[in-house]
Structure 1
Amino acid sequence: MKTLHGLPPKVKSVSQLRRSSLWNHTGTTISRLREAPRDLPGAPPRLGPRCAIMHTPAFEERDVRQQSGAAPALRARAQRARRRRHRARPRRPGPVRRPARRRPHRGRTALPRPYRSGRHGGQPGPARRAGGPRRLPAAAGPRRAARALRHRPDGGSARPRLRRPEDVQRRTTEAALLQLGHGATALRTHVRIGDVQGLRSLEAVLQARRALNGLADMTAVAVPRLLTGVAGADGLAMLRDAVKMGAGVVGGCPDLDPDPAGYAEAVLEIAAEQGCPVDLHTDGEDPARLARLAAMAGGLRPGVTIGPCAGLARLPRETAARAAEQLAAAGVTVVSLPQGGCTGLERYGHEPVRTAPVRLLRAAGVRVTAGSGALRDPANPVGRGDPLEAAYLLASTGEAAPQTAYEAVSSAARATLGLPEVRVEAGFPAELLAVRGERIAGVLSLAYSRIVVHRGRVVARTSAVREYCDSAATVALDLPRQSQR
């Protein structure tokens, strides 16, 4: 047989060439294959410049055999080899894969067997693995102003002014997602109606509520400015229209009306007419006014909520205790705002903000919850909307024990909103908050990483990573080190 470009006569294919001694001279072999690629039986029609970088024996043999009848089997073997090489390759550190969990049925809690425990009843925290996150009933926000996340670019606060409905919807959505990330799966937001704005702000909040369906439950509270006198006729009509539009709660600010008692009476009358709960903004500094409100609210028990009632803390203890007993007899719930002021009262920086006397109210039998109040607006330019922070402030100021403080933002808040009870047990609504901590006190002080479950689905996850630089103390204490990348 004719010799092809200096190759021995016995070499008739690339596979025979690979087994020959000429294969050791890689550069010579590749150059000859480029010169005469079509003279070798079974060789690909054009090798081209690729052979200069893909000249391993496995590549040449694979290319030749793919043209033969053994191609399918060799291709499968090559794919398996690629998978093995991919698995053996070092990878970048990624998110930790968590074991599969049982999916709750129709929004009910279905815990795996190691998590089930009914020994502690309704106490938050029976379900917990050793070293794992503590599962608690999800928090709820019983009071938040709709004019949230409003501030000047320079960091100072500005008085509220007319806003477009799309701006109100955007701010409401941002504030709701902020609180959802903190662990609140149920919210109640107060919306001002009337004046120049009319019902446009309420319509924007209702659109935001529809957009948040499946992430969080939001209830809108219609808050008119005036309800008495000649100017109050329009407010009464607009309040009824707001309830028909979709506002679930009737609210108001009696302290801003010339006739606070008449204002409260009008709100309670419309609530009884429409079958809605009541949520009123009041400072509670007048004990006679609170006594009259408690007498009028007795017929709607337990659907009347007032707050923030910081004025009770400025009254003499005997007077405040007497007012608390009247509120307890009428079944009125008090929402305190440990994190700051309230936009509804329109008092910006006149005096230091104080919270309601929670311990005194609870001793009288009043159901007390804690809300976030204003979020970065004139009443509280640094509001965060964190329910755990509200519970932390109640516990740190001595108004409640850590366990009681968390109940004020979880079980008591849900009862105020008219939502079913949540326990970390099978069969209850899957509204959960997973945080790290050995006890409730540790959860309130260091709950940075959180997992929020709403209707049996994880809707928010917040992760906090703490690392330390390399030092002798880091090595001795086995502390997490900073990444080298």
Structure 2
Amino acid sequence: MGDSQTPEPGPAAEVPRLLLSGARLADGRTVDVRLGEGRIEAVGTAGSLSPGPRSGHSARVDLRGYLLLPAPAEPHAHHDTALTAPQAAAGAPAPPPSDDPHEIQSRTTEAALLQLGHGATAARSHVRIGDVTELRSLEAVLQARRSLRGLTDLTTVAVPRLLTGLAGADTLAMLRDALKMGAQVVGGCPDLDPDPGGYVDAVLAVASEHGCAVDLHTDADDPARLARLAAAAGGLRPGVTLGPCAGLARLPHEVAGRAADRLAAAGISVTALPQGCCATLEQAGVSGAAPVRLLRAAGVTVAAGSGALRDAANPVGRGDPLEAAYLLASHGEAAPDAAYETVSAGARAVMGLPEVRIEAGFPAELLAVRGRDVASALSLAYSRIVVHRGRVVARTSAVREYCDSAAADLDLPRQSQG
């Protein structure tokens, strides 16, 4: 089961066939790709495919100079706090972000569209419930989700602050209400509850009741706690994801390796955040990223996400999946192709979304970026064309200009595309 529990109407049946011509694939081939009804209809050598029957509507997009890839997804967003980085005068305390539902809906929409422009055609948003906001933030994010249908697939994780003791009883009831409202995943942060084990038990029980996935925030620096969680969560379907698990990187290699083996055996996935911590774990002082290479070697499904997007935890977040992949590659945690896989195939697997390959029959969720291979795309990645459900939903075009004298002196073109 994916993040979306109910089918959503999409525009695929109403849009024309689309031919992506002259695209370069990661394996070096140059191909034409024909899309129809939200899926890839055919892949052929460059120049071999036509847009479609003359009687139907069709369109062509010239992708010469572009690398065509399965679209990335964003597995760990915080849209309810996105774009709220404190703006305080020097020496003055920063004002808290507004909890007005209309502002939250507006910020969620803006953040999701920003991520879509980078290529993420699906996102999983962690939304706090309880405390003073109760379910209002969730309601605002769900409203934004409805308004974004056809552009991007936005799903929600209900994130309660406390779930144990007297203080957690009301929030536990609210968590069940959140799922009835439309939240698709149960989340939370057991590290911040006085009884982390009780918190995990409560989350797993609610997820089992509702048949939904689990996505928990944890620093994961306690091997014994991880072992208990793996034992409790093993076999739960649709599945359990942990993130950012930065604490694993602080453990001795052998200890971290044994913890990774337990996670793999339990079928637990990990979402790493190479850009740093997220707002939910800010109080715990989490920083750094999970040891992706070690986790993948153990057989753990690993996704990479952006986490905080210009909020109190990260005032300069970009929400760009390719940046997350770039950071993994530049830090030596994965080769460029494997790094991109964490934000595409890995992210989609964690989110329960269908696999995407550039082959006939697969979903038409695609990203075209300027470049010849994945490494160059991660290094540059300025111009992008995003395809969701078989139609182009976003374009970014970048042109670099040099002054005439410099171009002449250095024998450079006056303009170049990036």
> Secondary structure in 2 aligned to 1:223?
strand
Query: 2:45 maps to which residue?
Result: 114
Paired residue for 2:338, among 401, 404, 410? 404
The residue identity in structure 2 corresponding to 1:271 is A
- Report 1 or 2 for greater relative contact order, CA contacts < 8 Å, sequence distance ≥ 6: 2
CA distance in 1, matches of 2:47, 2:281: 45
Paired residue for 1:264, among 200, 206, 210? 200
The residue identity in structure 2 corresponding to 1:428 is F
Distance 1:189 1:472, change over 3 A: closer
Question: What is the 5 A alignment of 1:170-189?
Answer: 170-189=106-125
Q: State yes or no: 1:232 paired with 2:168.
A: yes
Question: What is the 5 A alignment of 1:326-475?
Answer: 326-347=262-283, 350=285, 353-471=287-405, 473-474=407-408
The residue identity in structure 2 corresponding to 1:165 is P
Structure 1 alignment gaps of length 5 or more: 1-97, 118-127
CA distance in 1, matches of 2:406, 2:192: 62
Paired residue for 1:306, among 221, 226, 242? 242
Residue 131 of structure 1: how far off its partner (Å)? 4.7
CA distance in 1, matches of 2:21, 2:234: 51
Query: 2:8 maps to which residue?
Result: none
Residue 473 of structure 1: how far off its partner (Å)? 4.7
Distance 1:131 1:211, change over 3 A: closer
Query: 1:44 maps to which residue?
Result: none
The residue identity in structure 2 corresponding to 1:312 is L
For the 8 Å contact 2:243–2:272, the answer to whether it is kept is: yes
For the 8 Å contact 1:332–1:366, the answer to whether it is kept is: yes
CA distance in 2, matches of 1:374, 1:444: 20
Distance 1:402 1:312, change over 3 A: same
For the 8 Å contact 1:469–1:481, the answer to whether it is kept is: no
TM-score, normalization by structure 1: 0.73
Q: State yes or no: 1:245 paired with 2:166.
A: no
> Secondary structure in 1 aligned to 2:86?
coil
For the 8 Å contact 2:215–2:240, the answer to whether it is kept is: yes
> Secondary structure in 1 aligned to 2:150?
coil
Distance 1:301 1:360, change over 3 A: farther
CA distance in 2, matches of 1:254, 1:158: 28
> Secondary structure in 1 aligned to 2:314?
coil
Q: State yes or no: 1:142 paired with 2:78.
A: no
For the 8 Å contact 1:388–1:406, the answer to whether it is kept is: yes
Structure showing greater Rg: 1
Paired residue for 1:286, among 208, 219, 222? 222
The residue identity in structure 1 corresponding to 2:146 is R
Give structure 1 regions of 4+ aligned residues with deviation exceeding 4 angstroms: 98-103, 128-131, 154-162
> Secondary structure in 2 aligned to 1:230?
helix
The residue identity in structure 1 corresponding to 2:397 is S
Distance 1:105 1:129, change over 3 A: closer
For the 8 Å contact 2:121–2:388, the answer to whether it is kept is: yes
Query: 1:7 maps to which residue?
Result: none
TM-score, normalization by structure 2: 0.84
Q: Among the aligned pairs, what percent are the same residue?
A: 69
> Secondary structure in 1 aligned to 2:39?
coil
CA distance in 2, matches of 1:468, 1:397: 32
Residue 424 of structure 1: how far off its partner (Å)? 1.2
Query: 1:275 maps to which residue?
Result: 211
Residue 480 of structure 1: how far off its partner (Å)? 2.4
> Secondary structure in 1 aligned to 2:402?
coil
For the 8 Å contact 2:155–2:184, the answer to whether it is kept is: yes
Residue 158 of structure 1: how far off its partner (Å)? 4.3
CA distance in 1, matches of 2:236, 2:114: 33
Residue 130 of structure 1: how far off its partner (Å)? 9.1
Question: What is the 5 A alignment of 1:4-83?
Answer: none
Residue 151 of structure 1: how far off its partner (Å)? 1.9
Number of residues paired by the alignment? Answer: 373
> Secondary structure in 2 aligned to 1:319?
helix
Residue 481 of structure 1: how far off its partner (Å)? 4.5
CA distance in 2, matches of 1:302, 1:271: 9
CA distance in 1, matches of 2:254, 2:21: 56
Structure 2 alignment gaps of length 5 or more: 1-19, 23-31, 49-60
Paired residue for 1:197, among 133, 136, 154? 133
Query: 2:190 maps to which residue?
Result: 254
CA distance in 2, matches of 1:376, 1:454: 25
RMSD: 2.5
Residue 475 of structure 1: how far off its partner (Å)? 6.5
**Higher strand residue share:** 2
For the 8 Å contact 1:114–1:129, the answer to whether it is kept is: no
For the 8 Å contact 1:116–1:426, the answer to whether it is kept is: no
- Measured against aligned partners, the alpha-carbon deviations of 1:310-341 in whole angstroms (never above 9, x if no partner) come to 01111111111111111010000000000121
**Higher helix residue share:** 1
